[in-house]
Amino acid sequence: MVELKNVMKFGGVCVESGAMIRKSANVVKDHVKAGWSVVAVVSAMAGVTDSLLEALSWAEAGDARFVATFIERLGERHLEALKDSVARPELRAQVEGELKGEVEGLKQLLTAACLLKEVTPRTRDHVLSFGERLSARIFTASLIDLGLKAKYLTGWEAGIVTDDRFGAARPIMSLTYERLQAKLSPLLAEGIVPVVTGFIAATPDGVVTTLGRGGSDYTATIIGAALKVDEVVMWKDVEGIMTADPKLIPEARSIPLMSYEEVMELAYFGAKVVHPMALDPAMKEGIPIRLKSIFKPDGGGTLITKAAAEGVVKAVTMVREAATITVSGASMIEAPTMSLEVLKALDEVGVRPLMMSQGSSQASISLAVPRGTLNKALRSLRRRLAGEDFKVDFEDDVCIITVIGAGMKGRPGVAARVFKAVAERGVNIRMIAQGSSELNISFVVKEADGIKTMRAIHEEFQLNLAT
């Protein structure tokens, strides 16, 4: 019999309650019974990471009363989840002790932060690690309660080693792959399900780090690439990747097959489906990623591979709360490095352009930026370009619409169809850009026209993968 391996990543909705933890654990059990070797990667319970960030803010302000109340409620929530997901009293008692030990460790860190009225990046990462540490312990116990052999491991115990860029640490891949193989392969050979905390890792010296928000996806694909698994399955609350945000376009439907490149474009332009960094390890090893709904485990979801299904346009997204900046002036024609100066001005204040467009005349350059960064971007531009004959204009009530699909590459007339559909709805386009990959067309419209624009494109292409 050929050994089949997969990594299953369970997001916050999968562990938001004891009942959901039990449901997710049963999914693992079903796959193990079907002959799969499984590594389970677990996120924090829904809302816990945000609550830990809030607690850090109050600790930095020295509010010991808030911290004490928070610790108590956090412990109660996880003990309740343990009660609902583990039936055996002796196992529940054992894990209850483990959870209380974790909560006590968290309490000590937050208390120290309260006394010092200081939260360093290193402390922040250590505190944020407790969400996954608590949920993964409960998940492990639920698997054992179902009769499986399972072992709890933090990300660093499993073998993920990173640099010390706290808050957005990057794995040292050669060392990480070696350690993951050495730690996890023997467990899988013994029929044990490793349950690994997503999102968190450690430096070579053992200092706790985090991979950034959504980093549990990244943990899953790193493990998948190291073990060269057959596929990585990410369990979420939606049926895969949708043609549009169903909250905005109710007719949106799931997309059965997409390429890594298409999903990367989607992730960059606001679709919260897969952490962008998570795609890289899977792409390099050619490992498929499958997105499925925990509420419909028998559904197909979305399969992400090297090859994309046929279809010109696959999805349309909207990035809200954007702003545009246009730098113009006749003297720009004689200043070929002006675009570099504009980008330097933004970089100096940590503003990342979402898109950029420059006319062939080079008389103007337009950029879209997150609206919350607009003021500091304008200040930096005006300071850097002071004394020059340039005009800086802006709009602060716009959004970015992005049309994505590998089928657009080399296909004439797609942009014409997009803009004709939008024009027929009476929407004025403020700025246009197309990536060199030809996988997306992005443009800016007034935010008030955003949903109308999305609907026009969704209807024009029908987004049924057949046009």
Spell out the domains of the chain, with CATH numbers in brackets.
4-236 (3.40.1160.10), 315-461 (3.30.2130.10)
How far apart are the C-alpha atoms of 48 and 75, rounded to whole Å?
11
Amino acid identity of 206? G
Nearest CA to 272 out of 251, 294, 247 is that of: 247
The structure's pTM equals 0.89
pLDDT given for residue 300 in this prediction: 85
pLDDT category of residue 70 using cuts at 50, 70 and 90: very high
In 271-388 the beta strands, taken as DSSP E runs, fall at: 289-293, 302-305, 315-328, 355-358, 364-370
**What is the band of 7 on the pLDDT scale with cuts at 50, 70, 90?**
very high
Enumerate the H helices of 295-433 as residue ranges.
Answer: 338-348, 374-384, 414-423
And the tokens for 464? 């049924």
Please state, in angstroms and rounded to a whole number, the distance separating the CA atoms of residues 42 and 34: 21
Q: What is the pLDDT of residues 315-369, one digit of tens each?
A: 999 999 999 999 887 665 555 667 788 899 999 999 999 988 876 555 688 999 9
Mean pLDDT of 33-40: 96
pLDDT at residue 384, rounded to an integer: 85
The stretch 173-195 carries a mean pLDDT of: 97
For helices 338-348 and 374-384, give the axis angle rounded to 10 degrees.
130
* DSSP conformation letters of 176-203: HHHHHHHHHHHHHHTTEEEEEESSEEE-
Among the ranges given (99-103, 256-260, 324-328, 335-339), the one the predictor scored with the smallest mean pLDDT: 335-339
Task: Give the pLDDT score at 385.
Answer: 80
Distance (Å, rounded) from C-alpha 158 to C-alpha 296? 30
| Per-residue pLDDT tens digits for 424-455 | 999 999 999 876 567 889 999 999 999 999 99
DSSP letter (8 states) at residue 13: G
Residues 6 or more apart in contact with residue 374 via CB below 8 angstroms: 323, 325, 394, 396
Task: Please give the pLDDT value at position 335.
Answer: 55
What share of the chain in percent tops pLDDT 90? 75
Q: In the prediction, which pLDDT does 116 show?
A: 96
Question: What is the model's pLDDT at position 467?
Answer: 40
pLDDT digits (tens, 9 = 90+) for 392-425: 899 999 999 999 988 787 777 888 999 999 999 9
